[in-house]
Amino acid sequence: MIHIKKNQKDNLELSIYRYNSSISSYPYMKSYFFQMEKVKGKMLLDLLIQVKKKDPSFSFRMSCGQGVCGSDGMNINGRNGLSCITSVDWLIKRNKKIVIKPLTGFPILKDLIVDLSSFFNQYQKVLPYIIKDQKDIFDKRKNIQKVDSRNQLEGLYECILCACCSSSCPSFWWNEKKFLGPAAILVLYRFLLDDRDHGNDLRLRRLHDHFSVFKCHNIMNCVSFCPKKLNPNKAIRSVKIMLLKHIFKKINKKL
Ligand code: SF4
Ligand code: FES
């Protein structure tokens, strides 16, 4: 059992962003202390669960505890990540104080819980599901994916929608309603490459504007912060090329 007690030399300090609009309109940082020998081999999520047990007013999201559900994205010592796969040993090698804040760029609902509506609104815009021609829907042969097409999805299908990338992207902070953001574009690319899908034209023609995809300025924070080690920037660059080809094709048809 990890004990939360007042600061002592050699204790680990976990400083957590706290905000509850029903009590105060001001956020504050609250520190919780752990005996160093009791945190060895733990994940950060284990410490947050201990804090929750001692201080039930503390709120955060979690579900799977193993890097699958994407619900515990947060800012850990200035970097976005998932608490369930962040080793405390790794963190304390650098500092005996760990600072936890909510994901940047989203409205804060309570403590570490942010409102991800803008993130999921943009995700919905890319139509993140297989779109089939009506005539093929019941043709089982056309639902079989080719091996090459499946292989192209490596590094794309693993996205767990944790929002760590979009939360670290300045283009998304300033244009959350117009720029799709790195996660949504990575998912878009995943469906553009799928050979079972017939929705490329439908998806791309909705994105003929300056913001949806082209607002990415290659800042690359998305690549640095993705806890699944994916590369949204590479996907964005490919989507930009596909989108440009699609735009030129439409222009040529009109000429
Ligand atoms: Fe999370 Fe990575 Fe997907 Fe972005 S690309 S939502 S950081 S898993
Ligand atoms: Fe599910 Fe961390 S709790 S990804």
Q: Is residue 18 part of a domain?
A: yes
Residue 103 DSSP class: P
Determine the atom of ligand 2 nearest the C-alpha atom of 63: 3
**What's the rounded Cα separation, in Å, for the pair 70 and 72?**
6
Cβ–Cβ < 8 Å for 163, 119: yes
Residue with tokens 């300025």: 217
Check whether residue 28 and residue 72 sit in a common domain: yes
CB within 6 Å of ligand 2 — which residues? 62-65, 67-72, 82, 84
Ligand nearest to the CA of 83: 2
Q: Is residue 97 part of a domain?
A: yes
Q: Is residue 21 part of a domain?
A: yes
Q: Phi then psi for 7, rounded to 5 degrees? A: -55, 135
Ligand 2 centroid, distance to 71 Cα (angstroms): 5
Q: Is residue 3 part of a domain?
A: no
DSSP H/E element including 75: strand 73-76
Number of domains the chain is built from:
2
**What's the rounded Cα separation, in Å, for the pair 142 and 169?**
38
Enter the pTM of the model: 0.93
CATH number, domain with residue 99: 3.10.20.30
Residue with tokens 């947050």: 48
Check whether residue 129 and residue 229 sit in a common domain: yes
Q: What is the pLDDT along the chain (255 residues), one digit of tens a residue?
A: 455 555 566 799 999 999 999 999 999 999 999 999 999 999 999 999 999 999 999 999 999 999 999 999 999 999 999 999 999 999 999 888 999 999 999 999 999 999 999 999 999 999 999 998 888 778 878 788 999 999 999 999 999 999 999 999 999 999 999 999 999 999 999 999 999 999 999 999 999 999 999 999 999 999 999 999 999 999 999 999 999 999 999 888 877
| Token pair for 179 | 């720029």
Which residue, judged by its Cα, is nearest atom 8 of ligand 1? Answer: 159
Ligand 2 centroid, distance to 213 Cα (angstroms): 28
Determine the atom of ligand 2 nearest the C-alpha atom of 64: 1
Q: What radius of gyration do the chain's Cα atoms show?
A: 22
Q: Is residue 234 part of a domain?
A: yes
Domain limits for position 103: 11-50+58-109
Q: Is residue 6 part of a domain?
A: no
DSSP H/E element including 186: helix 182-192
